[in-house]
Amino acid sequence: MLDEKMKLDHLRQMREYRSSLMKKPQLRNLFLELTLRCNERCMHCGSYCGEVQSEELTVEQYRTFLQQVKEDMTTKGKMLDITGGEPLLRKEFFDILGAAHELGFAWGMTSNATLIDDSVARDLKRVGMGTISVSIDGLEETHDAFRRTPGGYKKAMNGIESLIRVGSFDHVQVTTVVTHQNIGQLDELFKIFNEMDIDSWRVINMEPMGRAKQHPELILTKEDYQTLFEFIRNKRIAGEPVTYGCSHYLGMEYEREVRDWYFLCTAGLYTASICANGDIIACLDIERRPEFVQGNILRDRFSDVWENKFQIFRRDLADDNEVCSKCDQKDFCHGDAYHSWDFDNNRPQLCFKDILF
């Protein structure tokens, strides 16, 4: 565990670094939401995915867009993050990612893995997939109920095994959304994943967004959060590849203890996203509001949008709230993550002050 003085020094450096990014952002992660369609209907989905109608760009529209990004910004240091919905439901999936691979983009994907078998895994390897994060949200009965998909757990675990069997991917990760219902299953889940040849286990809390707002009984309690972060910290002390997600400022006690570095909401600083209809936004987890749409790739050059817009994300949310603006952690938290901010009432929906510190 790092001492407080060193953490404070690091956090002050992060504050200055964030200030420099607001003036000169660096695109590192470009999310492509290929579809809003999904074969699961998860209780926490922020995008209300499922059996829905979804506007979808064509292969040629993606190819043109990615060619422009390469010409204007190069592919160096940039990662395409492929998501949905369930991205593998796009019948042109391999055409789109084949084009991205030919253009020299590195890419990874988030998936429920229910559509992955050995043949699909080989095709993913063929078109250059480097990383994948697969969702497993509890033991079998809990996972299937949470994702409202009978048989989903077995299909997802078989998908992971196919990815491992085909091999040669840079990183195969499992992500678990922790709720008040499944937090007691963490130890058993760890035993299961520890016996598999995955590269890391990402453990995150259920966020107060999307469908999750319809299920307040699943939101973690103060005691649950304390249990969650102690679990992650203890596993990391033991050298296990368990990590918390990128979200939320956790205070002096847990910053740098449960993930590799310190909190930084990268929306509009490192991260931009292309919605299924071509809209250009920051992070796909942020509430979909008209004022957050910065353009559309069918009519705007992405590099121009990245350089000249996104100002709504290159600022401190804390300045909009009286309590946050006077908080002694403001310089390190900045109002926390954009995706968990209540923009109607200008306040954070989740703040770890008084929960963890």
Q: Quick: pLDDT tens for 289-303.
A: 999 999 999 999 999
237-252 average pLDDT score: 96
Are 79 and 43 in contact, with CB atoms under 8 Å apart? Answer: no
Question: What type of residue sits at position 42?
Answer: C
Contacts of 316 (CB under 8 A, 6+ apart): 330, 334, 335
269-284 pLDDT, tens digit per residue, is 999 999 999 999 999 9
How confident is the model at residue 43, as a pLDDT? Answer: 81
pLDDT at 2 over 90: no
94-98 average pLDDT score: 98
How confident is the model at residue 210, as a pLDDT? Answer: 80
Backbone φ, ψ for residue 200 (5° rounding): -160, 160
Contacts of 16 (CB under 8 A, 6+ apart): none
pLDDT at 211 over 90: no
Question: In 3D, which of 203, 194, 83, 197 has the Cα closest to residue 136?
Answer: 203
33-85 pLDDT, tens digit per residue, is 999 999 988 887 866 666 677 899 999 999 999 999 999 999 999 999 999 99
Question: What type of residue sits at position 214?
Answer: Q
Q: Mean pLDDT over all residues of the chain? A: 95
How confident is the model at residue 228, as a pLDDT? Answer: 98
How confident is the model at residue 50, as a pLDDT? Answer: 63
Q: Under the phi-then-psi rule, with left for phi > 0, alpha for psi from -120 to 50, and beta for the rest, what region is 174?
A: beta
Tell me the pairing of strands 279-281 and 295-296: antiparallel
Can you tell me the distance from the alpha carbon of 114 to that of 112, in angstroms, rounded to the nearest whole number? 6
137-155 pLDDT, tens digit per residue, is 999 999 999 999 999 999 9
pLDDT at 213 over 90: no
How confident is the model at residue 48, as a pLDDT? Answer: 65
Can you tell me the distance from the alpha carbon of 331 to that of 244, in angstroms, rounded to the nearest whole number? 22
Percent of the chain with pLDDT over 70: 98
Can you tell me the distance from the alpha carbon of 304 to that of 309, in angstroms, rounded to the nearest whole number? 8
pLDDT at 95 over 70: yes
Are 54 and 37 in contact, with CB atoms under 8 Å apart? Answer: yes
Exposure string over 225-261, b if 16+ CB within 10 A, otherwise e: bebbbebbbebbeeeeebbbebbbbbbbbbbbbbbee
Can you tell me the distance from the alpha carbon of 135 to that of 113, in angstroms, rounded to the nearest whole number? 8
pLDDT at 135 over 80: yes
Are 110 and 173 in contact, with CB atoms under 8 Å apart? Answer: no
Using CA of residue 157, residue 260, residue 239, residue 205, what is the dihedral sign?
A: negative
3-22 pLDDT, tens digit per residue, is 889 999 999 999 999 999 99
Tell me the pairing of strands 279-281 and 271-274: antiparallel
Are 52 and 210 in contact, with CB atoms under 8 Å apart? Answer: no
- Single pTM value for the model: 0.95
How confident is the model at residue 47, as a pLDDT? Answer: 62
**Maximum Cα–Cα distance for the chain, whole Å?**
56
Backbone φ, ψ for residue 132 (5° rounding): -150, 140
